[in-house]
Amino acid sequence: MTPTPTVAVVGAGPAALAAARRLRAESRLKVLLVAPDGVSDYLGGSLPVATGDADVSQFRAQVELDGVEVLAASAEAVGTGFVRVGGAELSVDAVLAAPGLATEALGMPEAGSDRAMVSFWDLTGAAMAAPVISGFERGVLTVVIATPLYRCPPAPYGLAIRLARRATRLGLDVRVRLSTPEPKPLAAVGTAVTELLVNSCEEAGVELHFDVLPEPDALAAGHVVDARGAVPSADLWVVVPPHRAHPLLADLAGPNHLVPADGWGRTAAEGVYVAGDALFSPFPRAVAPAAASGVAAAEGVLVDLGLIDEVKPKLPEPDCFVDQGDGLYSRIQISYPSGPPPVGTPRVVVSPPESANSIGFDDAVARWRNQALSPDRDCPV
Ligand SMILES: Cc1cc2nc3c(=O)[nH]c(=O)nc-3n(C[C@H](O)[C@H](O)[C@H](O)COP(=O)(O)OP(=O)(O)OC[C@H]3O[C@@H](n4cnc5c(N)ncnc54)[C@H](O)[C@@H]3O)c2cc1C
């Protein structure tokens, strides 16, 4: 180990930011954060951006953390003792990789087809889809969840509700449907969430179709078909694309696209730690579990470098907002008082719709922005 060990943190989402903040508290380390353009995105902003109600800049922040060197670049490879950037291998003592999940780029229907498809599940994709989605004024729009693995399980339902409420508000002749491979929404976290999503969709006029699994090859070519012909027809498909292992971690990921690791993010590759959505974990893919795993992986690095004694990882408390349209959100708060799943049963609190400000959505955005900044640059929460 070098006298001042260097730890590379890859990514700038909630997992990487939490990890970098934990690591920089240890003054005997150099912390290098590698992220495209040196920016952090708040993915929950993707829905208002997709409907043309917000700009990407409202949910994108430049990372400026005292004690953390930010390298504005994409990592090309990671492995034991190195991270490759711009074709050069930087030598490091540990790599903490939190690049999230990759999403598949989907083809578009052939020219002349009277159907259209857009696909997104991040801010940049949402901005590209926005002109098509906000310009759709007549017909059937179907939100398609392509595969069971995707970020933030309630969010596609929120998107469908947001679109249906928007159509009603603007007096558009638009019907909204949602298809999902699940037999019912989010059964894993209990009936309260299933009921919230089903009832909210019904009240907003969203028609739900369960057990629909689009064929991957057809989807990649821009068609939505199911072997049983179960996909509801549409004039515009809005697809939550298949999520895959991030290419940086593909060799470490299992067949489920997720990377197995111990409770401190240690992977099968020595000195390579994983955190966030990329990690195989029993928790939902949401901000709080990502941040908790970032802290745990940072502590794994510190233990292995001999800088701290082992600390027990904290259980996360996921906090998801369900877009109810017209500026309203419901909130789903989950905790694990009897231990992590599958042994412990989650405690779920569902709050009825309120404005973004009173329900805590605006605070969550401000908290994320402050995570990307050092305290003296914080904006008020
Ligand atoms: C539409 C939507 C709504 C959501 N709503 C909520 C919500 O209400 N509540 C909630 O808790 N969660 C929500 N989530 C889920 C939450 O945003 C994710 O679970 C969380 O962001 C995962 O954090 P992460 O750090 O693992 O990955 P990400 O946030 O995906 O961050 C990955 C980071 O890695 C960077 N990166 C990628 N490739 C490279 C590379 N080659 N080199 C370097 N860096 C790279 C990316 O630029 C990014 O900064 C939502 C997600 C979506 C898509």
pLDDT at 108 over 80: no
Going by pLDDT thresholds of 50, 70 and 90, the confidence category of residue 381 is very low
The stretch 359-375 carries a mean pLDDT of: 91
Nearest to 347 by CA among 334, 332, 361: 334
In the chain, what is the straight-line distance between the N-terminal and C-terminal CA atoms, in Å?
40
Q: Is the peptide bond before 131 cis (omega within 30 degrees of 0)?
A: no
pLDDT of residue 334: 94
Task: Scan for tokens 């906090």, then name that residue.
Answer: 319
Alpha-carbon gap, residue 334 to 234, rounded angstroms: 35
Count CB neighbours of 379 within 10 A.
Answer: 10
* Residues at CB less than 6 angstroms from ligand 1: 10-16, 34-36, 40, 43-44, 46-47, 74-75, 98-100, 121, 151-152, 155, 248, 276-277, 285-288, 290, 318-321
Ligand 1 centroid–CA 172 distance in Å is 33
Taking every pair of Cα atoms in the chain, the longest distance, rounded to a whole number of angstroms, is 67
Adjacent-strand bridge partners of 334: 348
The stretch 150-157 carries a mean pLDDT of: 94
Percent of the chain having pLDDT more than 90?
Answer: 82
pLDDT of residue 230: 67
Q: Are strands 39-41 and 60-62 parallel, antiparallel or unpaired?
A: antiparallel
SS3 state at 36:
helix
Percent of the chain having pLDDT more than 70?
Answer: 95
Q: Looking at ligand 1, which atom is closest to the CA of residue 318?
A: 11
pLDDT digits (tens, 9 = 90+) for 304-352: 999 999 989 899 999 999 999 999 999 999 999 999 888 888 999 999 9
What are the helix (H) ranges across the chain?
Answer: 14-24, 46-50, 123-134, 155-170, 191-204, 216-220, 287-304, 356-359, 361-371
Mean pLDDT of the chain: 92
Ligand 1 centroid–CA 31 distance in Å is 21
pLDDT of residue 3: 78
pLDDT digits (tens, 9 = 90+) for 194-219: 999 999 999 999 999 999 999 988 88
pLDDT of residue 341: 87
| Choice from 287, 295, 359 to test ligand 1 binding pocket (greatest atom count within 8 A of CB) | 287
Q: Looking at ligand 1, which atom is closest to the CA of residue 277?
A: 26
Contact 33, 56 (CB under 8 A): no
Domains of the chain and any CATH numbers: 6-101+245-313+370-377 (3.50.50.60), 104-242 (3.50.50.60)
pLDDT digits (tens, 9 = 90+) for 265-289: 999 999 999 999 999 999 999 999 9
pLDDT at 376 over 90: no
